[in-house]
Chain A
Amino acid sequence: MSRPDLVTVTPARSAPPPQSRRTGRIPVALLLPAALGLVFLVLPLAGLLIRTPWSTLPQRLTEPGVLTALRLSVQAATLATLLCLVLGVPLAWLLARIDFPGRRLVRALVTVPLVLPPVVGGVALLLVFGRRGILGGWLDSAFGFTLPFTTAGVVLAEAFVAMPFLVIAVEGALRGADVRYEEAAATLGAGRWTTFTHVTLPLVAPGIAAGAVLCWARALGEFGATITFAGNFPGRTQTMPLAVYLALETDLEAAIVLSLVLLTVSVAILASLRDRWLGSS
């Protein structure tokens, strides 16, 4: 039995299998667009760096609002990712392993937040979870609890926008995984739940990790749904993207500094996580 090929769904694994070392020149038809693609992605970052006010950077970084917004951003994105893992992994499993009527439709519905403009997503969330919303009205009358304008609201908005990234990545990993391991577990008497926790999950762990990273990154940069659903208040709902947007109204340099902070922190966190996975796998 061959080891299931996880490479296609796991960016976290980078060790190239031996057969990938091919001979011959790299075709220009691939190299040129690849280089252009890279330049296209990196150039805006260079634009930010060029306009960065390096001389006043230390003062700007130590402004109290920056740290508050950064902390809130990281916390909310992490909580949103956890929420997405708890709900999204089972959903991905259902889509990948269970053949039920309407599966195609469900799969299409999962991607709705991807195509929905985030601001529209925010309005939609208000209509459901707002204090006059279908569920939110009940929450308010039964528990006196409302989600808009709270940090929980930020988490909810980010999870809504980011969950498709996780579900799609995990479903891809599950489809790429060899089901014979699960079948073997079943023949040895393992129930579906035991098979899921002891065989399936470890098998697709790198795929889940990759999905979680995408999900976290998307949540961290979320703007539209957050400001629409959770509003903007420093320390409670003002995440970094919101702070950047408002800084842009009056002070371009402040906006650039805030963007750089967000970029640096997210890249640092992602890189350190990636190293950890590479070390363990």
Chain B
Amino acid sequence: MTARRLALSAAMMMVALTGCGSGETTDQRPQGGAVTGAVTVFAAASLTESFTRIGEDFETANPGARVTFSFAGSSALAHQINQGAPADVFASASPANMTTVVDAGNGDGNPSVFVRNQLVIAVPDGNPGRVSGLADLTPPDVKVALCAEQVPCGAAAVKALDAAGTELIPVTLEQDVKAALSKVRLDEVDAALVYRSDVRAADEEVDGIEFPESAGAVNDYPIVVLKNAPNGSAARAFVEHVLSGPGQAVLAAAGFQAP
């Protein structure tokens, strides 16, 4: 009982601290089908560029609506949602973190996979090390950054390396995919395994090398309307927009694959 009360107060503090940018969200029911009010979307960090764009498109299509994003690691977002953060939509970079939220009873209906993301080898622009596949990353003088196994890109990297039977000793296991990529951008490592969408977002500084073994480690991105969504109807409209043709086009341009 005390533990529950503590968890509740912890949740309230967390909400206060993270300041999810939706303090003024109220339950504004749409009138005559129009989508209005604020929609708060918790989305994986790898969706930053594409969802920002989709949010702008959504607001243009629904002048009464305003979309606020909180971009962070999927697991951090899942923690926040389960602690009571007032979000309307959750878009996760991995099914595992979505399961955390759904199992806690915080999903409204079943999540839908809206995109998939595949690992590529990120190398500095122009590929100075002439990397063409995973085998080129194994010599000891080649410095490779992977994501830590605890985060989705790291789990996918382990799967892909296992599938290839490649023994690869990285110099670092980064805390998220953007951190791994930044080590390539700063030229501190010769290569990193990151998502194709991340390489696309950093087009001028890094090149992406596709490798066949990544097919076995494709990451699904699920999205769901949250049960305690302050603005449920607008949340559903946003999810529909993400799944629609225009939404999918933005995501495809950002390097994601269709589900």
Stretch from A1-9, A86-94, A124-132 forming part of the interface with B = A124-132
Return A229 CB to nearest CB of chain B, in Å: 9
Are the CB atoms of B187 and A232 closer together than 8 Å?
no
Given that A126-B188, A130-B188, A131-B188 are contacting pairs, would A246 and B172 also be in contact in the complex, using a CB cutoff of 8 Å?
Answer: no
Query: Which B residues touch A51, using CB under 8 A?
Result: 3
Query: Which B residues touch A130, using CB under 8 A?
Result: 186-188
Q: How many angstroms between the C-alpha atoms of A51 and B151 in the bound complex?
A: 23
Q: How many angstroms between the C-alpha atoms of A123 and B179 in the bound complex?
A: 11
Are the CB atoms of A232 and B10 closer together than 8 Å?
no
- In the complex, B35 has a CB within 8 A of chain A: no
Contact string, A210-238, partner B, CB cutoff 8 A, digits 1/0? 00000000000000000110111110011
Are the CB atoms of A237 and B172 closer together than 8 Å?
yes
Are the CB atoms of A227 and B170 closer together than 8 Å?
no
- In the complex, A27 has a CB within 8 A of chain B: no
- In the complex, B213 has a CB within 8 A of chain A: no
Are the CB atoms of B6 and A231 closer together than 8 Å?
no
Q: How many residues in B have their beta carbons less than 8 Å from beta carbons of A?
A: 23
Q: How many angstroms between the C-alpha atoms of A159 and B171 in the bound complex?
A: 22
Return A41 CB to nearest CB of chain B, in Å: 15
Q: How many angstroms between the C-alpha atoms of A233 and B174 in the bound complex?
A: 9
Query: Which A residues touch B73, using CB under 8 A?
Result: 249
Return B123 CB to nearest CB of chain A, in Å: 15
Query: Which A residues touch B188, using CB under 8 A?
Result: 126, 130-132, 148-149
Contact size range, A: 20 to 34
- In the complex, B62 has a CB within 8 A of chain A: no
Given that A47-B10, A246-B150, A250-B150 are contacting pairs, would A126 and B186 also be in contact in the complex, using a CB cutoff of 8 Å?
Answer: yes
- In the complex, B75 has a CB within 8 A of chain A: yes
Contact string, A114-137, partner B, CB cutoff 8 A, digits 1/0? 000000000100110011100000
Are the CB atoms of B145 and A231 closer together than 8 Å?
yes
- In the complex, B183 has a CB within 8 A of chain A: yes
Query: Which B residues touch A230, using CB under 8 A?
Result: 172
- In the complex, B148 has a CB within 8 A of chain A: yes
Q: How many angstroms between the C-alpha atoms of A47 and B174 in the bound complex?
A: 28
Are the CB atoms of B145 and A246 closer together than 8 Å?
no
- In the complex, B159 has a CB within 8 A of chain A: no
B148 interface neighbour in A126, A246, A252, Cβ under 8 Å: A246
Q: How many angstroms between the C-alpha atoms of A110 and B148 in the bound complex?
A: 34
A-facing residues in B168-226 (Cβ within 8 Å): 170-175, 179, 183, 186-188
B143 interface neighbour in A132, A149, A232, A250, Cβ under 8 Å: A149
- In the complex, A247 has a CB within 8 A of chain B: yes
Are the CB atoms of B175 and A149 closer together than 8 Å?
no
Query: Which A residues touch B10, using CB under 8 A?
Result: 47
Are the CB atoms of B174 and A232 closer together than 8 Å?
yes
Q: How many angstroms between the C-alpha atoms of A230 and B179 in the bound complex?
A: 12
* A contact residues vs B (CB 8 Å cutoff): 47, 50-51, 123, 126-127, 130-132, 148-149, 227-228, 230-234, 237-238, 242, 245-250, 252
